[in-house]
Chains A and B, each alone.
Chain A
């Protein structure tokens, strides 16, 4: 603009944006790939006018020389400053640039863009993860140390050569006396699955692209069938592709039912044709990323395929209600829903609820503990991710997982049901890349297993999202990596075979790392659930809160 031009309140300069695209004119080939690939059209072809001063040599100065000021035009890239087109920092431009001449940099001070992403009174919605500066460098899970090292009084184990039973149980486990009594009397014993303690958490078919979903499923199948690792994956709320429902691979799948019941028409109709029972049914009552809010699949992503699987028209927003509409009391309605789901599969499939981390988790738990059908409780902490949510929900709602899980576990210990009702923890596990140590910390705090979503997207598919508001456009289906897009032009970038390979890599390396943690603790015969004497932290308040040791 001109210095005397008009500005509006939302007139921003590049400096005010979260990301500044640096472009090097010297190296640019003007190939146009960057502007073509940018998912949010933050950059466009720029026709730049530039004034040059051309000074003739002394001897040539004369009347005929005319003006020494020359205007030239050159072509290049221009970054838009309209908040609707602000760069999201995904760096797809950098990825495609043949000469590495373009790269977005995070602004060096708080951006001003945040005050303007609510045009039309519509607050910011996005996908991804919690974007709040963590006052705790690394987060609480990363700061937990494993201090009980076996050496002399108790020889350490060999992570590479000893046998390890890194399995957990999903489903309601009866107290020993009752279990043996039921066995003797041929009574009903709740179904229990022996599974791997790292579960791929709920990411729906719809939130994820078909290629991503296929890759995850293939990886899971390979881990089970070739490597003997009983890894399970949850569908999320979006149903399940019909062929998978009718295949033997269904046993590796945890079907999720949530408040929108999307996809369940298809699932119910497939029941008579199922060759295998699913691993379990997860009833989603809440999600860590947007607690108290229902699922949301925005219209951009509801194409024909998604619409067909979910049983809805295409091209419309699919917001699930915040709660199951029929639920008014946990004692009655939740119990009934759990029982109904059991009934659908002849009481052969464990059913468990998933809630978001909340200060009321213990009340939920107490009710479930009294419900003999509840097959576990999954708690999703505030650091959980999502495909789409209001930014305010993602950043400010919810409860951290560590203390929530610990409180619930200790409540179970008090009533003696710590082995009966397995707890699963999710939300920020591996947030800073330390998947195995975070998972082990949660297990020793009392989790029977952990659920991961974002980590799988990053490690198995190359998601570029971050805690510092990078990319996070999963909601509009423009994922530059094709992970959360329903546009074939985008998701064909992602090779499902390669995703499957990475899933296997992640689980194998996780397995080795988990052994490297439990072996020096002297544990191998069973997963050290609740082995809190092995944990410590260098923060006395946190130590007291989690009932673990304080070390400095």
Chain B
């Protein structure tokens, strides 16, 4: 089973905090891999908030191809974080040439483009790099987005983090998502490792998605180039969220209504029953069956956690104003935020969406039975 940890903090934190939390939960995961998503960055990246950052793993040849490609389309390197790799990787971790974290300057030709056009183009560049990388396995690209850094690797999370020296000063973030396991239900593939990312939306999941095939078929057939991959059955959760936000124009409160809609009796009593019934019908192929706990981060830096309808995976959210964390287990939360009011810890159940908005002042619980903030 995966163990997940997500934190949102007023002050930038080192990702090591998340690794320590994962480490105390190690009984619950097999330490086979690590995935990290950092956003609302501190350190040197704070100054580069608008610049897209490319995260990935490259061979030396892959890096050459990357440089050539980026130059051709007019991207100039603005800042890079060099990770000098020690000689001996930990047991189980392959030796890589380059872990790349590099911020770019937008091409001049992109000036004046609308925000949505830029977002589309950034995604397309990432997809193109991913495709190029698949030819000779020279590049693995996780994200190409402003204010987002992602690192994924095989091996024990704590050992990998020490090996890559992720405690370095330059690496600070106010939002951290961390996950402590390769997707061992399927073949080991770094693209199968959580968190998954698309256009500012990142999620990670604990559990197995029984409705994976219909979910995947529906997303793949939307005609949206970003809905590809699916090396892991959990990637659909990220894409469903992206679909809910970007294609349907709905908020995070609607996400659960898409993946686990209410049943008849509840819909009849619901103030938005008619709307929700239409949503349920038209998004029927996006319904999941769990067991799944999904944690994630929205483009506006809101953190959230939801559960499936009845099987549930462990998750607890707690903290204090300015610092909140969501953890698979209580012990992870205890290590991360020991000085919190434990009586206010909350374990979301089958109807809840727990949300921590970017002001980080409280954990807001939305129940599926409540009225939905609908766009007018």
Contact = CB atoms under 8 A, between A and B. Distances in A.
Nearest to A182: B278
Interface stretch (B35-43, B87-95, B206-214): B206-214
B211 A528 contact: yes
B278 A179 contact: yes
A103 to B, nearest CB: 50
Nearest to B249: A180
Contacts of B288: 525
B210 A521 contact: yes
A173 B221 contact: no
Given A165-B263, A176-B248, A529-B214, A418 B221 contact: yes
Contact of B248 (A177, A194, A532): A177
A192 to B, nearest CB: 6
B365 interface: no
B260 interface: yes
- State the majority secondary structure of interface residues on B: loop
Interface string A496-525: 000000000000000000000000011111
Contact of A180 (B221, B248, B284, B291): B248
B218 A183 contact: no
B211 A153 contact: no
Contacts of B308: 525
A61 interface: no
A533 B208 CA distance: 14
B217 interface: yes
A175 interface: yes
B269 interface: no
Given A154-B291, A413-B221, A173 B282 contact: yes
B78 interface: no
Interface residues of A, number: 40
A530 interface: yes
B211 A173 contact: no
Nearest to B219: A416
Interface in A89-140: none
B279 A180 contact: yes
Contact of B213 (A154, A175, A183, A531): A531
A529 B289 CA distance: 13
Contacts of A175: 282
Specify which of A162, A192, A523 lies most central, judged by the most chain B CB atoms within 10 Å of its CB. A523
A153 B289 contact: no
A329 B12 CA distance: 67
B86 interface: no
Interface string B263-292: 110000000000100110111110111110
B75 to A, nearest CB: 32
A153 B208 contact: yes
Interface in B158-214: 185, 207-208, 210-214
Specify which of A163, A174, A177, A189 lies most central, judged by the most chain B CB atoms within 10 Å of its CB. A177
A466 interface: no
Contacts, number: 111
Interface residues of B, number: 40
B281 A155 contact: no
A152 to B, nearest CB: 9
B214 A177 contact: no
B289 A523 contact: yes
B181 to A, nearest CB: 12
Contact of A176 (B213, B214, B260, B283): B283
A70 interface: no
Interface in A142-179: 148, 150, 153-155, 157, 162-163, 165, 169, 173-177, 179
A525 B289 contact: yes
Contact of A153 (B185, B214, B278): B185
A475 to B, nearest CB: 41
Interface string A413-426: 11111110000000
Contacts of A154: 207-208, 210, 290-291, 311
Nearest to B309: A525
A192 B185 contact: no
A418 B285 contact: yes
A458 interface: no
A531 to B, nearest CB: 6
A179 B278 CA distance: 7
Across the A-B interface, give the 4 residue pairs with the lowest CB-CB distance, nearest first.
A416-B221, A522-B210, A154-B208, A179-B282
Interface of B: 1, 185, 207-208, 210-214, 217-218, 221-223, 243, 247-250, 260-261, 263-264, 275, 278-279, 281-285, 287-291, 308-311
29 contacts: A148-B210, A150-B208, A153-B1, A153-B208, A154-B291, A169-B281, A173-B284, A175-B282, A179-B281, A180-B248, A180-B278, A183-B275, A417-B221, A418-B214, A418-B217, A419-B285, A522-B289, A522-B290, A522-B311, A523-B211, A525-B260, A525-B308, A526-B287, A526-B289, A529-B214, A529-B284, A530-B213, A530-B217, A532-B213
Given A177-B247, A192-B281, A194-B264, 13 more contacts: A154-B208, A154-B311, A165-B263, A173-B281, A176-B243, A176-B247, A176-B248, A413-B217, A418-B221, A525-B211, A525-B290, A529-B284, A531-B210
